[in-house]
Amino acid sequence: MQRVRVRPGLSRQSGTRKAGATSDPPLSALRHSVRPGARTADCTDGARGQVTQEFLQEFRKRLLHWYRANKRDLPWRKTRDPYRILVSEIMLQQTRAETVVPYYERFLSRFPDPQSLATTETAEVLKQWQGLGYYRRARYLQDAARAILRVHDGQVPRSADLLQRLPGVGAYTAAAVASIAYQEPVAVVDGNVTRVLARVFRLSSPVGSAALKRAVRELAEQVLDPDNPGDFNQAMMELGATICTPQSPSCGKCPVLSLCQAASANQQEQFPVPRERKPVPEVEVAVGLVWRGERLLLSKRFDDAMLGGMWELPGGKIKPGETPVQCVERELAEEVDLRVTAQKHLTTVRHTYSHFRVVLHAFECQLVAGEAKPVGCADVAWVGPDELGKYPVPTATVKVFEAVGLLPRRKATPRSQPG
């Protein structure tokens, strides 16, 4: 059977131009002459995709024009203040932009500069972060602010290399801050950028593989507009977040549709090639609500633990062969040195973290003997219901408080991975 060669921007089935496709030069016309020293990208058909100067000019022009006309109205795009951009980039890790906006504005109203963040008690920082999840980000951000004061005289470093030496600042965040705040020509690579480039160049290596990471890094550096690095990096991320989405991409609205190899083959949703999915483990936990008069017992997690520095109901993982009741009675003895009797099951809540799920059983417990002290935790506190809002509390614990009527139920907000 003779193979039919379909021009980019045309439907393989009908030969008609896809909705939203433009009459801009097709990919084949832009890739036919290779500039000296050009790098290449692996493609699914085994060919070597070559990036020409003509392709780069067209890709950059279309993407920047689209971004400047269509970018979302987000508060961190209205500033070149490197500290504010650093805060936004840390918050945007693993969290959707629309979720971040109110937290960003609240956080900066409380901590408008590195000094105010660096000199505040960590518990207050965690409280301001509460609900955004991934609390280690807040601790790293405060550590970074302290390093900015101590090492850089209160000024956010001006290069990606120096930024990456700050606590909790990786290559992605450093590149984003340096390019947006200081116009350093360094490419950003995140999940959105990876998806865009994997589709444009039909990269065959699976997500998470060293081969894909290497290819995407090289391509991101190549396509970056050195004259407009900040806008270009934001344009790449914006394209991935709003148009070139993981499912059902809006290819008809894409400014680089006719430059996209995956789209020209009607294979958009096959790229990037997914990694083999592993089952998400589930952990069962039992916690106790212990009252002393009108005050509820909370325990504080160790700083170096997951959710470090947060306050929660005492309890822990259910061991094999153990019932939830046996677990909560054992855990309270081990964690806060109390003998209790679990009298009533109050609620069961479920919560998903990035790499596991928790099923949390909450019990009303009767204090039998002992004086609460931090044996297996960092600290303990007896807290009145009207004081709960002052403590940084993980979302799973908040769900328990809501279920038993200690806190009003919140309006649900979308988040890629709750914390």
User: What is the DSSP-derived secondary structure letter of residue 167?
Assistant: T
Concatenating the DSSP letter of every residue in 284-333 gives EEEEEEEEETTEEEEEE--TTSTTTT-EE-SEEEPPTT--HHHHHHHHHH
User: Among 234, 187, 223, which Cα is nearest to 67's?
Assistant: 234
> Within 13 Å of residue 85, how many CA atoms lie on the same side as its CB?
24
Active site residue 282: no
User: What is the DSSP-derived secondary structure letter of residue 273?
Assistant: P
- Between CA 249 and CA 252, with CA 250 as vertex, the angle to 5 degrees is 135
Residues contacting 5, CB < 8 A, separation 6+? none
377 Cα distance to chain centroid: 28
User: Among 316, 347, 348, which Cα is nearest to 329's?
Assistant: 316
| Angstrom distance (rounded) from CA 97 to CA 238 | 10
User: Among 383, 405, 409, which Cα is nearest to 395's?
Assistant: 409
The catalytic position among 58, 89, 312, 335 is 89
Q: At what angle do helices 97-110 and 122-129 cross, to 10 degrees?
A: 150
Strands 315-317 and 282-292: antiparallel
Catalogue the active-site residues.
89
